[in-house]
Amino acid sequence: MPNEVNPRLINGLALAYVGDAIYELRIREYLIGQGQTKPNILHTRATTYVSAKAQAYLIDQLLEAEKLTEEELDFFKRGRNAKSYSKAKNTDAKTYSFSTGFEAIMGYLHLAKQSERLNELTDWCIRTIESRK
């Protein structure tokens, strides 16, 4: 990235915008690593991890398991409480706002260059979704 960015100065929706891309990239890398190569199967499998419903489920699980730091909780709340001008697709407003909060955490960790923590949470999320199958 050409310029250093302080994630504490970025609004929740912008963090979620970055976090959405970062989390989806991690999931795509995971699926490719599992030997998935057919695009339609990749897309179908990816949605079980990256849909708003999946992300809202994951944030509920992270909160219940007390896996988040205080700082991560603050970024979750910034994303969750951000006023979005777009409407949720295929889900209710609460699910959409929780998934936005989840994405804001991922965006924060990426921009704060906390790769190890980002990997740790992403791996935990993958295991959590896999255990539901």
Catalytic residue among 20, 60, 74, 123: 20
**Which residue in 86, 92, 76, 90 sits closest to 16, CA to CA?**
76
20 with 103: CB under 8 angstroms? yes
Give the burial string for 11-50 (b: 16+ CB within 10 Å, else e).
Answer: ebbbbbbbbbebbbebbbebbeeeebeeeeebeebbeebb
Residue 20 is among the residues annotated as catalytic for this protein: yes
| Rounded distance between C-alpha atoms, residue 116 and residue 47, angstroms | 24
Residues carrying an active site annotation? 20
